[in-house]
Amino acid sequence: MTGADGEILAFIQRCVGERKILWTYHVTMRMTGRFIQRETILNAVDSYEIIESYPEDKYLPSYLILARHGGDTFHIHIAVDKNHDNVRIITAYRPTLDKWCEGFRERRKP
């Protein structure tokens, strides 16, 4: 990945690797019900792939990340705070084929 998304991905991976992460209340509540462990998100860092960008998101630019770890595939919604050198994990979930195309990189058309 090159260009702006490549730079953002490198920033996200560095922040996660250095544990410069803020876990939102939302993701903490959701991960419990979705059985995604924090360690799974952290250990998948090398597999991260930006699949959607939301540069004009409400508070901070955010990105939908496709991640894989130990045979598990999941999405992570991450906000990027370059000014404070950290990322915020907003939510994490396992995508399903009823909403996502094979490979989980593209949404199905309604």
- Radius of gyration for the chain, computed over Cα atoms and rounded to the nearest angstrom: 13
| Averaged pLDDT for residues 80-85 | 97
Q: Is residue 95 within 8 Å of 76, Cβ to Cβ?
A: no
Q: Is the pLDDT of residue 1 over 60?
A: no
Neighbour count for residue 25 (Cβ, 10 Å): 7
- Ordered domains of the chain (ranges, CATH): 3-93 (3.30.2310.40)
Average pLDDT, the chain: 91
* 21 vs 86: CA distance, rounded Å: 6
The tens digit of pLDDT for each residue in 31-79 reads 666 678 889 999 999 999 999 999 999 999 999 999 999 999 999 999 9
1 vs 38, more confident: 38
